[in-house]
A and B are shown apart, each in its own frame.
Chain A
């Protein structure tokens, strides 16, 4: 699986936007960009995914660079419940089992 690079940690203030970066310079044309997050003492949960175009859902937005070598997960108004580890994962659409390969992710701290 192609590798992603994320900052180890980030900090934000409640009700402010958060931009979580991810670099994936070796991404291939068939790799989807997935984001999951893991709240304390819970299993990971799906946040959003995309291929080339920017994506929005009720949880977040995903901005994908034109060359696809980087992406940014955007939380529009951080809440205390958004404090979690955020994982940026590439998954090849050609893969037959949809296995996810996690890195260490970014630990997001939200200050009240």
Chain B
């Protein structure tokens, strides 16, 4: 499978714990995005990388959230001191700069439940 891969697919944690999600984009894609989706809502943009540089962060990304893409390949999204309001699906997407449609390819997401 050469699509966007996200791990873990499901994570249940207790409030106050830290969690980390990993995203492996399509190999030649230099753009990577993180989104968050709650029930009944469309995905909300969190942050964007071009190669290893984090170029945009939403104000939704509080200081408990940190995202990295150290070598311009895979990315991690860490949530510290989780709160119940962090329960959501976290989606990763990648795209290729310069590609005509600018199509974003999404992974299947990582579902977080904070108890």
Contacts and interface: CB of A to CB of B under 8 A. Distances in A.
Interface residues of B, number: 27
Interface of A: 36, 41-46, 49, 85, 87, 91, 96-105
Contacts of B104: 36, 44, 46, 98, 100
Interface stretch (B13-21, B61-69, B77-85, B106-114): B106-114
B108 A102 contact: no
A100 B103 CA distance: 10
A97 B4 CA distance: 18
A18 B95 CA distance: 29
A4 B40 CA distance: 17
B42 A102 contact: yes
Contacts of A46: 101, 103-105
Contacts of B41: 104
Contact of B43 (A41, A96, A97, A102): A102
B19 to A, nearest CB: 19
21 contacts: A41-B108, A42-B108, A42-B109, A43-B93, A44-B91, A44-B104, A44-B106, A46-B103, A87-B42, A97-B31, A97-B56, A98-B97, A99-B33, A99-B45, A99-B56, A100-B43, A100-B45, A100-B104, A101-B45, A102-B42, A102-B44
Interface of B: 4, 31, 33, 35, 40-45, 48, 50, 55-56, 91, 93, 95, 97, 101-109
Contacts of B97: 98
Nearest to B95: A98
A97 B45 CA distance: 12
B9 to A, nearest CB: 10
Nearest to B40: A104
A44 B35 CA distance: 11
Contacts of A85: 42
In order of increasing CB-CB distance, the 4 nearest A-B pairs are A43-B106, A102-B42, A98-B102, A46-B103
